[in-house]
Amino acid sequence: MKRHTTTLRATIAATLFSLSTILPATAGELTFWTWRQEDRAAYTELFRDFTAANPGIKVNFEAFAPENYNTIASTALAGGKGGDVLQARAYGVLEQFAKTGYYRKLDQASVPELANLPAEALAAETLRADGAVYALPYASQTLGLFINKDVFEKAGLTPPTTWAELQSVGAALKAKGITPIANGTATAWMDEVFAGIFTAPMLGPDFVADILAGRATFEDKRFTGALAHLLELRDLMPQGYTGIDYPTSQQLFLSGRAAMFAGGSFEIANFRKQNPKLNMDFIAPVAMQQGQPRYVAKFFDGGYAVNAQSPNQEDAIKLVRYMGTKAYGDKFAALLGNISPIKGVEIADPLLAKVAQLNAVSIPYIMAVHFRFQSPTGSELLSAGLQKMFAGQATPEQVGADVTAGIATYFTPFQKKP
């Protein structure tokens, strides 16, 4: 019986230990939740600076798998647990968390550093229903074309600036046995990125304005025409492109088997880590005609939110305030290779500085910025349609019609259209 009692005690002790790991941090200690395990070293350094300026407040970094982060965070927050400060996603997902009351409202009284951020960045972390900001934005992302400079140099070619040049440069690369564009279409969300990049210069800001005002739908000829142009790129993509997924596309580019990769500025740090010798450039997508603006698509990645139930509100706010300073933005950009939206941030890295420059001629990444607030999201509809289109199972017109019909279930301006 004594042995049984010992076993029971051991079980109870183990259970209590497990429970202790999910309890909130103690006073003077904050936990920071994120989906970016790969950023641990950078955040450790950033938090060291914070602790140096705020003695007695230590920040613990806790990362979770990106694909499960929303579920883990929402489950923990529903139970009154979770990190004191959380990395929050932007737009629709931010709204879901904010609407439920999981994040604390931030205003300039509690976080004066909000004034350091541009309105469009704050809009990404705002709940439209009450107009309040719920997270401090940390990065903008730009979608464009990665160039393997060594591959181009070796082939004696220069990166394209127009659609015609893209075709001729692509043909020349193919003739030399190099895949012109690394992207395949097997990973659905990446198809939206691919389309977002190449269609941005064709669509421009007027199309976005017309869509939002209900003057046009995605059945508009400007949109379906742009999708039709994408089909011309199939010849420049890898053999069997419908079966090439995102990681393979990245590897084709990194290994120099492909000359270009259509992707986001969020790839820069990862590409450098994977191949430090990679000599790359990041350019705006090609214009249809010489001299036309080469718009890039832009969006904001996420923000830092305070857990509304955190027992360490004061310290958590201190941390978020620090994350809104120029000093933090400078170091964030240097360590993580991302563009901080904080005003006046200095970007020393030449490639990143170039990305920041490209942002001056940009349009919003339309589905993420405007149609990811209700289901079915514009992103889900478009990526599914694009996969079918690239596989020859749907025409650009059908994709436009399906996207419009899906969005029309909640976007009233589209409902007025016959």
Partner 1 sequence: MRPGRALWIGVLLAPALATMLLFVVWPLLGAFADAFYSFRGLAPDRFAGLTNFQDVLFAEPWRSTALQALRHNLVVFATLLVAQNGLAFLIAFALLHALPLHRLHRVIVFLPVLLSAVIVGALWKLLLHPLFGAVNAALALLGIEGRPWLGDAQTALGSIMLANGWHWAGFPALLFLAAMQRIPREVFEAARMDGAGAFMILRQIVWPLVAQATTIIFTLTFIGSFNWFELPYLMAGLAGSPGGATDVLGLFFYRTAFGSVSSGLQDFGHGSALAVLMFVFLAASSAVALRFLRRREIEI
Using CB under 8 A, list all residues that contact partner 1: 4, 8, 11, 66-68, 70-71, 74, 78, 92-93, 95-102, 184-189, 192, 238-245, 248, 367, 372-377, 379-381, 383-385, 387-388, 390-391, 393-394, 405-406, 409
DSSP state of 289: S
Give whichever of 112 and 240 is closer to partner 1, judged by the CB atom: 240
* Sequence-separated (6 or more) residues with CB below 8 Å from residue 181: 170, 233, 236, 237, 238, 258, 259, 260, 261, 262
End-to-end CA distance of the chain: 79
Q: Which is nearer to partner 1, 4 or 277 (CB)?
A: 4
Q: Tell me which residue has tokens 């969300």.
A: 189
172, 157 Cβ separation under 8 angstroms: yes
Nearer to partner 1, 99 or 272 (CB): 99
In whole angstroms, the minimum distance from the beta carbon of 102 to partner 1 comes to 7
- Token couple for 50: 């914070």
Closer to partner 1 at the Cβ: 299 or 322?
299
Beta carbon nearer to partner 1, 269 or 287: 269
What is the distance between the alpha carbons of residues 175 and 5, in angstroms, rounded to a whole number? 77
The sign one gets for the Cα dihedral 341, 138, 381, 374 is negative
Q: Which is nearer to partner 1, 113 or 192 (CB)?
A: 192
Q: DSSP states of 204-242 as a string? A: HHHHHHHHHHTS--TTSHHHHHHHHHHHGGGGGSPTTGG
In a 10 Å sphere around its CB, with 0-12 CB exposed, 13-18 middle and 19+ buried, how is residue 341 labelled?
Answer: buried
The least CB distance from residue 188 to partner 1, in Å, is 4
Choice between 31 and 249, CB closer to partner 1: 249
305, amino acid identity: A
Q: Cβ of residue 220: shortest distance to partner 1, in angstroms? A: 21
- Cα–Cα–Cα angle for 396, 403, 300, rounded to 5 degrees: 110
Shortest Å distance, C-beta 176 to partner 1: 18
Q: Of 50 and 91, which CB lies nearer to partner 1 in the complex structure?
A: 91
Q: What are 320's two structure tokens?
A: 């978020």
Q: E strands within 120-166?
A: 126-127, 132-133, 136-148
Give CA–CA dist 93/191, Å, rounded: 20
